[in-house]
């Protein structure tokens, strides 16, 4: 439910207790109806997914979405981090089903994973 609320432009549900009862509050848009959005069926990086990514991974996804192929070395230079850090970022993107690995060794490239 939390992810769906974020995907539609709403705040996360509030969970609490009051006089011994468990309560879940689903905040609406209030007077700001423009904040509501309907996620596109083919959208890969929904707000709920994006919330799980760090800034570096978000930037990497922006590049992948516009069709760029990424290499580990290229990302190391761009973000000024070590190879293990970038390798971890790519592992996470692959595990989340957002990117796919092409090739091996120095010729390894990462692409946006096509959703079927």
CATH 1.10.10.10 for the 47-112 domain, yes or no: yes
pTM of the model: 0.63
69/10: higher pLDDT: 69
CA torsion through residues 88, 94, 97, 98, sign: positive
38-70 tens-digit pLDDT? 555 445 677 788 889 999 999 999 888 888 999
Q: How confident is the model at residue 102 (pLDDT cuts 50, 70, 90)?
A: very high
Tell how far CA 29 is from the center of its chain: 23
For the chain, give every domain's residue range: 2-35, 47-112
Q: For a pLDDT cut of 90, what percent of the chain falls above it?
A: 41
Torsion of CA 12, 17, 21, 27, to 10 degrees: -30
- Evaluate whether 2 touches 75 at the Cβ level (below 8 Å): no
């Amino acid at each position: 439910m939390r992810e769906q609320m974020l995907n539609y432009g709403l705040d996360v549900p509030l969970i609490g207790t009051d006089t011994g009862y468990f309560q879940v509050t689903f905040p609406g848009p209030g007077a700001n109806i423009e904040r509501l959005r309907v996620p596109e069926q083919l959208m890969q990086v929904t707000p709920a997914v994006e919330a799980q990514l760090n800034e570096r991974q978000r930037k990497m996804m922006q590049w992948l979405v516009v069709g760029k192929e990424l290499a580990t070395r290229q990302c190391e230079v761009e973000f000024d981090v070590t190879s293990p850090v970038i390798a971890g970022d790519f592992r996470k993107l692959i595990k989340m089903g957002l990117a796919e690995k092409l090739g091996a060794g120095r010729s390894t490239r990462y692409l946006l994973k096509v959703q079927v």
